[in-house]
Structure 1
């Protein structure tokens, strides 16, 4: 039996789905609720430039295999650049049916150069390989921006460390005073965390720099598209080797979220130290007014809200990591619409990290160190380990010296004296190895400068750390 389709019904269907890249299969339009639920343009429009860049490269590849004429390529390229300009100037008009950035750009291209030529651009291409390409281009450029800010952060820490190479402060373990260290040594401990964060970011950039364009929806491209050309044209080091893997791969997004989470945990750790050091109880540092706020009720308050927000926003970043991992865990292979949830968290983490890096850099660059308060917080019991080392140099085994040093501490506490005020005869009662030269221990500068091995807190070691980071920065700054 012959099937007859009424033209009026078909025309109505086409009108409803006019901007859809998939509308030919359907007779009915989307429910308005589903239209809104399915649309992603409100957030993925940030990919507009990457989408246009990818489309221009794809048009060139179509020309290389004679699926476009030269004049058609020129029209497509000119039209896409005009669309890019419209987005940049805020002149792009979003219309109903523009469900995502790919649909919107293609719809506008057809308006500018005609549907016949504009419609050729999508030949052999799927939104599956298109969106993955767009995201990689956008994220690659964005991560390079974050790397630039991270390098600046390390540069600022180096600068501040050079200013305080002679400032001694208590070092802490378990939040208890442990041993004296240079303030620069404390600062540099975070510089090396951030250096590793940068190296992880550089490695992630290298891993993600593989071009998925030309993979189609799942099975590849039937038109002999030159994928190596596409990769080179878009600045990728290579093209993906399996089309099914390429369209469903979001490991690069998950890795960005992991990097952000680990890095912001380091920020939060530093922020916590700085917050403690800035309290009246410590008063080691003062956070600049530029990175502090006040109380709406208590006029005397100066709150380091910049640091508290760094701590707080770390949870948000980790939450975005959890979200993408749950999405990826729940889907089968290749592309699934769940992957639409990969973008909002990515954009949010990038925006948040960009602010966090600059804020913590500013807070460090403008803080003031109170050297006197740092010195006042030092106490001779922090040299108990030095007493053990003193006895080691006298030929006593370390396990025994540790026990004897502990006896010195407990004796001083029992007598209500600081260790350095104990009489020599009390020391000798504890061990015959103590002599007059024990008095030479009660010098904090001598104490910190005995740690001359690589990585120690001596001034020589601190300068070695700084020179290492300077050389590393030089090698990794374009």
Structure 2
């Protein structure tokens, strides 16, 4: 049955006021429509609270059963659209109490005993974030899988590595892709660590001092998938550092995605031509028919600033607030919802773009030695031959100058030119001036040698499996 949108509201406050709130106050105070996504989480908290009221003797057994059945029915009606908030409902809590009272009469009003919107609001958002942390982690997992799949195909693909966006040393392209896997994946570990710190329930804190009615918050905490209640009832309703930390992880992830996106923009440009993006993940120009634009990468890059702004905005809202609860804290939801919604769009699009991009192996190899990327091999060979590296560096620089003067790369240097630059540059150095030799020499842990990159991929896959156990199975709370 559709709940009517008309009729007087049932505010959760106002008994001591002589007049109705002004229209301006109502407009400013009412929750944004997007906040009502917390309905299932508020109802999950209401179930736990109802059982606490039963333990306190406020609800009889038959009343508890009736109330829980009504909460279950209300959740289904909300999810199917059979019931919705009306304009007069100030927030999620007002909306739900109104409907429960309409359906249960005075029994619906009993649920408010022993709790406050302060601990409800904190609990609703914390449950939501713990739920969505796993959704985000799963999307990151998919992006990592796409990058790893590409890396597995290019363990033998040679390319130039860059510093300062200048050719620096040759690497295998898989090694570069795996650098993004490592950077992106650390954010899943951050979410796991964040979740451990966030597994404390604010229910039972009430307004700030704790509840004289609900005295077993550890039972409600366990029911909702928390490890324990919050240690301090004031901190329980006043703290939003868990929101800021969550927003930091979102913004750090967005920054990593932006860096990946920037490289895809470069790689797909006419100047690089390293990769070709699938048509399904590009757009064209309304005026230039030849254009193929990497819009997913560009849009993802642009969203990073937005998520950083959400973090900065929340930190700014918190910085001067006295304890305990202040209405300023309502900013937590706008920031969190926007960051989650944004990542929920960006991550799948990026994963699909990476999974379908085609890499020009021959072009990468041709460009790999350009820009004297083999120069470090000369300096290293001299150092291993006993030449102090400071001298080896100078000798190699002189060799590069000589090559520039002749318009050749190091791979084309002659024995005569070596001897002309420095007598210590004997012909033996030439066997080190190949791409395969340079890459094969980097056999240290984490290096670019193909064997090491293969090992890195295997470790990354094991890490994904470990993270996946948390993403898909560790949370015992409501999955709404």
TM-score normalised by L of structure 1: 0.94
Match of 1:46 among 23, 37, 51: 37
Q: Look up the match of 2:475.
A: none
Say if 2:219 is the partner of 1:229: yes
Say if 2:279 is the partner of 1:289: yes
Q: Give matches, 1:225-374, under 5 Å.
A: 225-374=215-364
Q: Look up the match of 2:174.
A: 184
Match of 2:415 among 411, 424, 427: 424
- For the Cα contact (< 8 Å) 2:161–2:170, is it kept in 1? yes
1:415 is displaced (CA, Å) by 2.8
How many corresponding residue pairs?
A: 463
Could you tell me which runs of 5 or more consecutive residues in structure 2 were left unpaired when the two chains were aligned.
Answer: 1-5, 470-480
Q: Give matches, 1:338-417, under 5 Å.
A: 338-379=328-369, 381-417=372-408
Task: Spell out, residue by residue over 1:365-391, the C-alpha distance to the aligned partner (whole angstroms, 9 max, x if none).
Answer: 111001121122123611010011121
1:54 is displaced (CA, Å) by 0.2
Q: Look up the match of 1:174.
A: 164
For 1:391 and 1:95, the matched residues in 2 are separated by 78
Say if 2:432 is the partner of 1:446: no
For 1:418 and 1:156, the matched residues in 2 are separated by 35
- For the Cα contact (< 8 Å) 1:165–1:462, is it kept in 2? yes
Q: Give matches, 1:97-136, under 5 Å.
A: 97-114=88-105, 116-136=106-126
1:18 is displaced (CA, Å) by 4.6
Could you tell me which runs of 5 or more consecutive residues in structure 1 were left unpaired when the two chains were aligned.
Answer: 1-14
For 1:124 and 1:251, the matched residues in 2 are separated by 25
1:342 is displaced (CA, Å) by 1.4
Moved more, 91-100 or 219-228: 91-100
For 2:418 and 2:467, the matched residues in 1 are separated by 53
Task: Spell out, residue by residue over 1:423-477, the C-alpha distance to the aligned partner (whole angstroms, 9 max, x if none).
Answer: 3122113222222223212321221111000010000110111111111122222
Q: Look up the match of 1:437.
A: 428
- For the Cα contact (< 8 Å) 1:41–1:99, is it kept in 2? no
- 1:18–1:391: structure 2 CA closer, same or farther, 3 Å change rule? closer
- For the Cα contact (< 8 Å) 2:418–2:427, is it kept in 1? no
Match of 1:162 among 149, 152, 155: 152
- For the Cα contact (< 8 Å) 2:132–2:340, is it kept in 1? yes
For 1:96 and 1:71, the matched residues in 2 are separated by 33
Q: Look up the match of 1:139.
A: 129
- For the Cα contact (< 8 Å) 1:288–1:366, is it kept in 2? yes
- For the Cα contact (< 8 Å) 1:394–1:433, is it kept in 2? no
Question: The residue matched to 2:381 in structure 1 has which SS?
Answer: helix
- For the Cα contact (< 8 Å) 1:171–1:181, is it kept in 2? yes
Question: The residue matched to 2:212 in structure 1 has which SS?
Answer: coil
1:17 is displaced (CA, Å) by 7.2
CA RMSD in angstroms, aligned pairs only: 1.5
Q: Look up the match of 1:12.
A: none
Q: Give matches, 1:18-33, under 5 Å.
A: 18-33=9-24
For 1:329 and 1:309, the matched residues in 2 are separated by 31
For 2:84 and 2:290, the matched residues in 1 are separated by 51
Q: Highest relative contact order (Cα 8 Å, sep 6+), 1 or 2? A: 2
1:169 is displaced (CA, Å) by 0.7
Task: Spell out, residue by residue over 1:246-275, the C-alpha distance to the aligned partner (whole angstroms, 9 max, x if none).
Answer: 111111111111111111101101111111
- 1:455–1:257: structure 2 CA closer, same or farther, 3 Å change rule? same
For 1:370 and 1:340, the matched residues in 2 are separated by 50
Q: Which runs of 4+ in 1 moved over 4 A?
A: 15-18
For 1:259 and 1:425, the matched residues in 2 are separated by 56
Q: Return the index of the structure with the highest Cα Rg.
A: 1
TM-score normalised by L of structure 2: 0.94
1:420 is displaced (CA, Å) by 3.0
1:224 is displaced (CA, Å) by 4.6
Moved more, 181-190 or 73-82: 73-82
Task: Spell out, residue by residue over 1:47-71, the C-alpha distance to the aligned partner (whole angstroms, 9 max, x if none).
Answer: 0000000001100111112121011
Say if 2:23 is the partner of 1:71: no
Task: Spell out, residue by residue over 1:159-218, the C-alpha distance to the aligned partner (whole angstroms, 9 max, x if none).
Answer: 111111110111010010000111100000011101211111111111111100000101
For 1:232 and 1:163, the matched residues in 2 are separated by 46
Question: The residue matched to 1:181 in structure 2 has which SS?
Answer: strand
